[in-house]
Amino acid sequence: MRILILGGTRFLGRHLAEAALAAGHEITLFNRGQSGPGLFPDVEQLRGDRDGDLAALEGRRWAAVIDTSGYVPRIVRASAQLLADKTDHYTFISSISVYRDFAESGIDETYPVATLEDEGVEEVNGETYGALKALCEREVHRAFPGRALIIRPGLIVGPHDPTDQFTYWPHRVAQGGEVLAPNGLDLASQVIDVRDLAEWNVRLIESQVPSRAGFYNATGPTSTLGLGQVLDACKLASGSDATITWVSEDFLTEHDVKYWQDLPAVVPERDSKLGGMPRIDISKAVQAGLTFRPIEQTVQDTLGWHRTRPPTVPLKAGLAREREAGLLTLWRQRKVSTIARG
């Protein structure tokens, strides 16, 4: 099968390309050539810019297209309309961030999506990202009615993750010592290994079954994943002697510790707007064949990849060691003070 990937050299796109090649497909990558220029030397690579330069896609045909790099509706509309008569199927990689909020547990694909008062906004930031993705989904469905697959991943993790949202934990635990962690070992977390997501996406395209079109939440695993389980896997992967100190949500709030940035991959349990984020309903995707490798394997492979990176490059997420040490000192002082008062 001939597959066009819009992107294909960063994180998910890279793993999609690898999964498609491993399955014996012929792929073409369309991008600007700025990320990972040395990757896939034997693969056809078309150069262009989604924002106004799609000429390289003219006069060609593919069995399927996977769009990994669409964030602005106008730009997605241009590629979807151009490719509508050049391919049978269009996969758009969206996000669970499209949902209006996460005030409920068990959100499925029918839950309302976020909206923008001004749909012409194109600045992508924390306030607009989800709603813009929802508008991108709409553009794809308009161009490919009944032929579009919309995948809404949760936090994508694994080797080559440029965000470090998950990588922080295997890295930090491997360093050993006292590790600050939020709330308790049962704090819920949902992640999807990038390779599981990529391989499943390729299998869906291969099936070419019309009923596979539509929306799919794609995170995991099927059973509740506790942060304690993740950290245990981190210790096992690195042979670390780290000790985990569980710090209360009240203390973290008091000291302006930000979930997702300072303490990545987790959200506070009492957050009325985000509480349902780690409890998304993924039953539809599982029924469609989404499978999950053990979290221990994801941790081990993420740590192995991370160790190949230059040690001088700072992580993009997580607490700096100095700040973590200061917080742990304050936490111990608070506990001593509480005992003394008692």
Look up the CATH number of the domain holding residue 41.
3.40.50.720
Q: How confident is the model at residue 335 (pLDDT cuts 50, 70, 90)?
A: confident
- What number is the average pLDDT over the span 127-135? 97
One domain, residues 184 and 116: no
- What number is the average pLDDT over the span 120-133? 96
> CA 276, CA 270: separation in Å to the nearest integer?
10
Q: How confident is the model at residue 141 (pLDDT cuts 50, 70, 90)?
A: very high
**Does an H or E element contain 300, and which?**
helix 295-306
- pLDDT for res 209: 56
Kindly report the number of other CB atoms within 10 A of residue 16's CB atom: 28
Among 130, 153, 176, identify where a domain stops: 153
Percent of the chain with pLDDT over 90: 84
One domain, residues 28 and 61: yes
Asked if pLDDT for residue 213 goes beyond 90, the answer is no
Nearest to 190 by CA among 226, 162, 147: 226
One domain, residues 132 and 44: yes
Tell me the residue type at 75: I
116: left (phi over 0), alpha (psi -120 to 50) or beta: beta
Q: CA–CA distance from 235 to each of 188, 238, 300 (Å)?
A: 19, 5, 10
Global pTM value: 0.94
Nearest to 175 by CA among 231, 259, 213: 231
One domain, residues 141 and 234: no
Q: How confident is the model at residue 184 (pLDDT cuts 50, 70, 90)?
A: confident
| Domain of 264, in residue numbers | 168-189+223-278+293-334
One domain, residues 101 and 148: yes
- Judge whether 265 lies within some domain: yes
Among 99, 126, 153, identify where a domain stops: 153
> CA 315, CA 304: separation in Å to the nearest integer?
15
- Judge whether 162 lies within some domain: no
For residue 76, what are the contacts with CB-CB under 8 A and spacing of at least 6? 67, 70, 92, 136, 139, 140
- pLDDT for res 341: 58
- Judge whether 320 lies within some domain: yes
Q: Dump pLDDT digits (tens) for 143-178.
A: 999 999 999 999 999 999 999 999 999 999 999 999
Domains contained in the chain, number: 2
